[in-house]
Structure 1
């Protein structure tokens, strides 16, 4: 994680967050019956949000 530029790291987190939210919406509400995939996508989204928060707090301290 330290070898990646913080700006690039945030960009990757935002892309993964966007994809996981789209997957969550598609599998959760549009397709129905894919609950396991929707839960995994939701967990990935929460992890990305946590990573973005940590990145923001570390950036403020620097």
Structure 2
């Protein structure tokens, strides 16, 4: 079975992934646009930022 057959609502799936990772120890953002190395804008579905320990 293909993933596209399981997931019909990609926006809902992205929000589910964001919610699953939103534990309070990380910053979770949905639908973020960041500048890539080339300077071009890059759309990120779910951006998870860990700000504890060595990973800031």
TM-score by length of 2: 0.31
If asked which structure has higher relative contact order (CA below 8 Å, sep 6+), I would say 1
Between Structure 1 and Structure 2, the one with more helix by share is 1
Between Structure 1 and Structure 2, the one with more strand by share is 2
TM-score by length of 1: 0.29
